[in-house]
């Protein structure tokens, strides 16, 4: 036994002397650990900016795709790569999806980026006013003129602007109700003076003339349309 050990020791010494490499077995666990460390990606950190509350993490780079979750303002995400339609592929809380690039930045936002009231969870939205209408506009459940009506907002009323929506609508809050109103009837400028409109003075007055007794008022601009008689009087 002693001779065998001495022989192995001599062989090892000889190998080292001539510059031969001796392979030392590595355990499978050690190999796996090394490979894992080498393949683990390092992503750049981005932050949610330019929003009031949060942005949407979506499963596809498309604003019409579903929602994975909301990412609060100021939150850190891991940037993977740029995607189509102005999106970034990102990771947030273990979920991989897509967020609009316009709301992501490498610069961490300041805590006071938006003004908050005495309750930190309440955001102060810009105030808009109802304009360019005779009586009121419709607050709807979605940004479409065919959507259901929530309520009417009188001319001159103040609303809270949340964000710009599709189809020419703004997402707004009125009397605690959140919905959508047409942007063309909303302005940051408060209407001055008497904001009511007079229906009677909106059209010029004409008189019935050049007839013996009356003329015919028709339902359509055609002499064959249904009619009502209008005697000589003001129109």
The predicted-structure confidence for 108-134, as pLDDT tens digits, reads as follows 887 644 444 334 444 678 899 999 999
Q: Tell me, yes or no, whether 159 lies in a domain.
A: yes
Answer yes or no: is pLDDT of 140 > 80. yes
Residue 201 inside a domain? The answer is no
The predicted structure's pLDDT at residue 76: 92
Q: Are residues 134 and 100 in the same domain?
A: no
| Residue whose pair of structure tokens reads 């590595």 in the numeric block | 26
82 and 49 share one domain: yes
**Which positions ≥6 away from 59 have C-beta within 8 Å?**
65, 66, 68, 97, 98
Query: Domain tally for the chain?
Result: 2
Across 11-37, average pLDDT: 55
**Residue 18 reports pLDDT greater than 60:** no
Instruction: Identify the pLDDT of residue 30.
Output: 54
Cα dihedral 38, 41, 44, 47 in deg (nearest 10): -140
Residues 140 and 174 in one domain: yes
Do both 101 and 135 map to the same domain? Answer: no
Question: Range of 53's domain?
Answer: 44-105
Residue 233 lies in a domain: no
* Cα 117 → chain centroid: 23
79-118 pLDDT, tens per residue?
999 999 999 999 998 889 999 999 999 988 876 444 443 3
Assigned token pair, 16: 């080292």
Residue in the structure block whose two tokens are 């710009």? 164
Residue 75 lies in a domain: yes
Confirm whether 140 is domain-assigned. Answer: yes
Check residue 197 and give its pLDDT.
44
The answer on 175 and 133 residing in a single domain is yes
49-56 long-range contacts, Cβ below 8 Å, gap at least 24? Answer: 49/73, 49/74, 49/103, 49/104, 49/105, 49/107, 49/109, 49/113, 50/102, 50/103, 50/105, 51/103, 52/114, 52/123, 52/125, 52/162, 52/163, 53/123, 55/99, 55/100, 55/103, 55/104, 56/99
Q: For residue 234, tell me if it sits in a domain.
A: no
The answer to whether residue 162 sits within a structural domain is yes
Q: Residues near 125 by Cβ (< 8 Å), separated by ≥ 6?
A: 52, 160, 161, 162, 173
Where residue 58 sits, what CATH number does that domain have? 2.30.30.40
Whether 231 maps to a domain, the answer reads: no
Average pLDDT of every residue of the chain:
77
Is the CA virtual torsion 100, 68, 178, 146 positive or negative? positive
């Amino acid at each position: 036994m002693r001779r065998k050990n001495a022989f192995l020791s001599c062989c090892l010494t000889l190998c080292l002397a001539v510059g031969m490499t001796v392979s030392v077995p590595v355990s499978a666990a050690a190999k796996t650990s090394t490979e894992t460390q080498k393949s683990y990606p390092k992503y750049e950190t981005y932050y949610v900016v330019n929003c009031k509350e949060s942005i949407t993490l979506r499963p596809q780079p498309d604003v019409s795709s579903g929602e994975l979750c909301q990412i609060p303002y100021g939150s850190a995400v891991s940037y993977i790569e740029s995607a189509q339609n102005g999106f970034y592929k990102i990771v947030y809380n273990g979920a991989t999806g897509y967020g609009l690039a316009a709301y992501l930045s490498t610069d961490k936002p300041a805590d006071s980026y938006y003004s908050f009231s005495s309750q930190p969870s309440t955001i102060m939205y810009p105030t808009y006013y109802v304009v360019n209408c005779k009586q009121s506009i419709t607050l709807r459940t979605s940004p479409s003129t065919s959507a259901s009506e929530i309520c009417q907002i009188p001319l001159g009323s103040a609303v809270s602007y949340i964000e710009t929506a599709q189809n020419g609508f703004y997402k707004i809050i009125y009397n605690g109700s959140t919905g959508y109103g047409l942007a063309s009837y909303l302005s940051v400028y408060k209407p001055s003076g008497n904001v009511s409109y007079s229906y009677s003075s909106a059209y010029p007055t004409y008189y019935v003339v050049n007839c013996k007794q009356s003329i015919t008022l028709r339902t359509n601009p055609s002499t064959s349309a249904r009619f009502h008689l209008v005697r000589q009087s003001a129109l």
